[in-house]
Amino acid sequence: MATTSAEDCGKRYQRWGQNTYRKGGKPHYEWDSKPSTKSTLTSSRDAWSGRARPCTEFQDHIKIVDGFFGAGYGAHIVANCEAMRATARDAYGQKLFARLQVEKLRAEFNTLVTQWRNETKFLSSSDDKILHSAYQSIIAMGAAAVPLVLEELESRRGHWFWALHFMAKTDPVPEGANVDQAREAWLKWGRDNGYLR
C-alpha cells in the first residue's frame, strides 16, 4: 500500500488550492504514516491513531469541517484523503494519457484527412464519402481521435457526423438537423465534454 508523506500531501493540498497549509515553503503538518483504509465515519479524535498528528491549524480545520458537516466528517476526509488523491492522480493521468494518444495519432489523422478530402470533395454521394477507405480508417482510430475530428470539423468543416457518431458512441444531432445545425450540435458537444475550448 502506498504511504502518504507530508510532502506529498502538502503538494496535493496546494494543487487543490488550499495552500494555506504551507508555511515557509514547507508543509507545516506532519502526516507520513500509512493512510487509513476505513471508509466509515469515525470520531475525529480517533483519526490520528497509528499516524502522526497533523499540526494545530490542520486540526482546527478538521474541527471546522466537523462543525459544518457534522461530527466525524473531518475524520472521514482524513481517512479518505489517500483515496481522493489517488482519484485526482488517476483523472490527471487519464487526461495526460488521452492527450498523448491524440498527439500520437495526429500525423496519421492529417494524412488520412488530406487523402479523404482530395478524393471525395467532388462527390455528392454521402455513401461514397463515408465508405471511402481513409474515412473508415479514421473511424477505426476510435474514441482517442474524437478531439482531432472535432478540431477538423471546427476549423475546416466537413461531413464528419457519421464518423463522430461511431467514434464517440453518441449523437447530439437533433432529428431533422441540416449540415450547419449538425455541425453546431457536435461543436457544442465537444466544448461541453472538454474536447474543444
Partner 1 sequence: MAEMGQGQRVPEIDLMSIQDIEVAFPSIVGTSYSEESPVTDTYNCIAFAVGDCHNWWWPRKGYGIYWPPGFPLTDSVDVLIAIFKVHGYSECDNSEIEVGFEKVAIYSINHRIKHAARQLRSGRWVSKLGDQEDIEHEKVGYLKNLSYGSATHFLRRRRTDWEDITT
Give me the residues that bind partner 1 (CB under 8 A), please. 120-128, 157-159, 161-162, 165, 171, 173, 175, 177-183
* Shortest distance in whole angstroms from residue 146 CB to partner 1: 16
Residue closer to partner 1 by CB (options 124, 155) is 124
Please provide the DSSP assignment of 93-155 as one string: HHHHHHHHHHHHHHHHHHHHHHHHHHHHTT---HHHHHTSHHHHHHHHTGGGGHHHHHHHHHH
Reading the block at residue 7, the C-alpha cell is 510532502
* Shortest distance in whole angstroms from residue 28 CB to partner 1: 58
* Shortest distance in whole angstroms from residue 183 CB to partner 1: 7
Residue closer to partner 1 by CB (options 46, 128) is 128
Residue closer to partner 1 by CB (options 50, 174) is 174
* Shortest distance in whole angstroms from residue 163 CB to partner 1: 10
Distance CA 51, CA 30 (A): 9
Residues belonging to the chain: 197
- Comparing CA positions, the residue from 86, 142, 152, 140 lying closest to residue 114 is 152
Reading the block at residue 191, the C-alpha cell is 466544448
Residue closer to partner 1 by CB (options 11, 159) is 159
